Amino acid sequence: MGYRKNHHTNEYSRNEIVNKKLIGRLVEQSGISRGDLVYDIGSGSGVISEALLKKGARVVGIEKDREIYRKCREKLVGQDRFELYLDDFLIMDFPPKEAYKIFSNIPFVHTADIVNRLLFNANPPSDCYLVLQKEAAERYAGIPRETLASLVLKPVFWVDIVCHFSRKDFFPVPSVDIVLLQVEKRRSRLVSGRDYGLYRDFIVFCREEADRTIKKSLKRLFTYPQLKQLSRLLNIDFRSRPADLNFVQYLAIFQFYLGLYLKNLAPPVRGAGERLREKQENMVKTHRTRKR
């Protein structure tokens, strides 16, 4: 379920979905089929789990709050095809070894952590429906422009916003817009598993200097004739910024790069993702230790 911070108590209250008919319709229209194993992370009162059970899915609910877990258990446990666990998704033993799907109204305050744990593991879900704040969902979908997150996801997943909720679909009524994001694993990856780590480094490398033009970012990797060839083939204005490129253009540039440097990869690209992680971790440490 969604959470919103209560600044007076420093606790997190919940934006529960109260529009059961809408959730039932969304589950019915989803790619979830009878017999699928589906996880409901932050199951709350069980509205989503109940709709999944009606669809014929095998449902595993995960709830961190003991009182809400008890109420959900009283309501749903005993039904066939349903299991409920009192646990924290971020530290529990996950994911399963078998194929599974997700349909969840996850805690908004943990969106990034949950999405990373779900999608960047050895066995990600084949299909994933997440109720998210619109701003976060647009970041993953690359709307209106591609982000680092969207560019990293798209070679492996098809990502799109499939429903815009009314704020009245929730209680308490949220102060932000909420949507349903679908992240479906592609049947055929656009970047192989062998090359995916290099692709991530390539994307970070191209975008790590936000004020650089595309030409300045890419001239460290390509010769001038090669840049002219890319510009002509992909209709790129190299005076614009890396943020102006779309996913298809980035993918094509990476494939061009991979073909040129398959045996002798340009050293600046390797490790760019790790350098970014270290930089972000240092920023977090600095923020935590800063005097107030």
Do the domains spanning 2-185 and 193-289 agree at the CATH topology level? Answer: no
Instruction: Report d(CA 138, CA 212) in Å as an integer.
Output: 24
Instruction: Report d(CA 224, CA 198) in Å as an integer.
Output: 23
Name the pTM for this structure.
0.87
Domain ranges within the chain, ordered by starting residue:
2-185, 193-289
Tokens coding 96: 């399963």
Phi first, then psi: what are they for 101, rounded to 5°? -130, 170
176 CB-near residues (< 8 Å, 6+ apart)? 133, 134, 135
193-289 classified as CATH 3.40.50.10320: no
Pairing relationship of beta strands 11-17 and 157-164 according to DSSP bridges: unpaired
Of 221, 138, 149, 214, the residue nearest 176 (C-alpha): 138
Helices 247-260, 193-207: inter-axial angle, 10-degree rounding? 110
Phi first, then psi: what are they for 128, rounded to 5°? -145, 125
What's the CATH code, domain 2-185?
Answer: 3.40.50.150
Instruction: Render each residue's pLDDT in the chain as its tens digit; 292 residues.
Output: 554 444 333 334 478 999 999 999 999 999 999 999 999 999 999 999 999 999 999 999 999 999 999 999 999 988 899 999 999 999 999 999 999 999 999 999 999 999 999 999 999 999 999 999 999 999 999 999 999 999 999 999 999 999 999 999 999 999 999 999 999 999 999 999 999 999 999 999 898 877 889 999 898 888 899 999 999 999 999 999 999 999 999 999 999 998 876 655 555 676 676 766 665 455 444 444 454 4
